[in-house]
Amino acid sequence: MHPVLFEIGSIKIYSYGFMIAMGVAFAVAYLWWQGKKEVKITFDQANNLFLVIFLAAILGGKVFLFFENPTLYLENPKRLFTGSGFVFYGSFLFAVPTMLWFFKRNKLPVYQMLDIMAVVTCFVHMFGRVGCFMAGCCYGKPTSGFMGVIFTDPACQANPLNTPLFPTQLMEAGFIFLVMLFLLYFRSKKKFHGQLFLLYLMLYATGRFGLEYFRGDLSRGFVIEDYISNSQFISLCIIAAVAFIYSRWSKHNAVIKRK
């Protein structure tokens, strides 16, 4: 595809970073609009919240990316910061504690904010996966089917080039879009605060587990070689933990329905 969207002199605008910026713009707009409507969040709070989460997500995503292939990034540290992308679960595991800290510090209702953040996360993640497609990272296995996409740009990370590969990046972006539509539809029907956030986690983890079988970037690592990848193992842990939390939250965070 096109890892570098365009160049201005010596400055390169990477496709991945541009798509993340697009996702951030939509996410901030939704966060402020829905947050103001539900919990009276201010514009400054919305901006500050997104800033601290974004910084935490960048750090976590890069930390997990580094540990996928430490030798590669120690030999060429610049590669870690020039269009190489992030590991979503790393970003997620760093971002969640950060936003919980922010909610409590600013006296925002935690569970209601989590429901809002479920949709916010979908925006950023969905656009980010489109950015992955353009950068060639998170690529799929070779396929002879109609879905095959051929990467030809030597600057992209897809391997092998000039070979039809599963467009796993677009497959995941499409799946996240469907999850987001479901969350928006289910928002008015939820039974307890925090339910949307838990549903998002379970749905994404389930979808990610299945999509991993189409991935071709084997350097991301395996817990059980060729069977269970690191991301699949994390997905299983999330599904198990969320199932337990779901039963507890449903008893204590009931939504008060007003006629």
The answer to whether residues 239 and 206 touch, using CB atoms and an 8 Å cutoff, is yes
Six token digits for residue 96: 């969640």
* Longest CA pairwise span in the chain (Å): 63
pLDDT values of the chain reduced to their tens digit, one per residue, 259 residues: 678 877 787 787 788 888 989 999 999 999 999 999 999 999 899 999 989 998 998 888 888 777 766 766 666 666 666 555 667 788 888 999 999 999 999 999 999 999 999 999 999 999 999 999 998 888 999 999 899 999 998 888 888 999 999 999 999 999 999 999 999 999 999 999 999 999 999 999 999 999 999 999 876 778 887 789 888 999 999 999 999 999 889 887 776 554 3
The set of residues, in sequence order, having a beta carbon less than 8 Å from that of 143 and lying 6+ positions away, is: 164, 165, 166
DSSP symbols for 98-130: HHHHHHHHTT--HHHHHHHHHHHHHHHHHHHHH
Domain range annotation of the chain: 4-188
The alpha-helical segments, DSSP class H, found in the chain are 15-39, 43-68, 70-75, 88-105, 110-135, 168-186, 195-211, 230-252
By the 8 A CB rule, do 58 and 17 touch? Answer: no
Burial class (CB in 10 A: 0-12, 13-18, 19+), 230: middle
The residue count for the chain: 259
Q: What is the pLDDT of residues 153-168, one digit of tens each?
A: 888 888 899 999 999 9
N- to C-terminal Cα separation, the chain: 53
How far is 156 from 152, CA to CA, in rounded Å? 8
Cβ(232)–Cβ(214) below 8 Å: no
How far apart, in whole angstroms, are the C-alpha atoms of residue 176 and residue 205? Answer: 11
* Residue found by looking up tokens 């390169």 in the block: 12
Per-residue pLDDT at 84: 56
Pairwise CA distance, residues 123 & 30, whole Å: 9
In this prediction, residue 72 carries a pLDDT of: 65
Are 201 and 238 contacting, i.e. CB atoms less than 8 angstroms apart?
yes
The confidence score (pLDDT) of residue 157 equals 82
CB-based contacts of 44, cutoff 8 Å, min separation 6: none
Q: What is the DSSP string of 85-100?
A: ---HHHHHHHHHHHHH
Task: Output the DSSP codes for 213-236.
Answer: GGB--GGG-EEETTTEEHHHHHHH
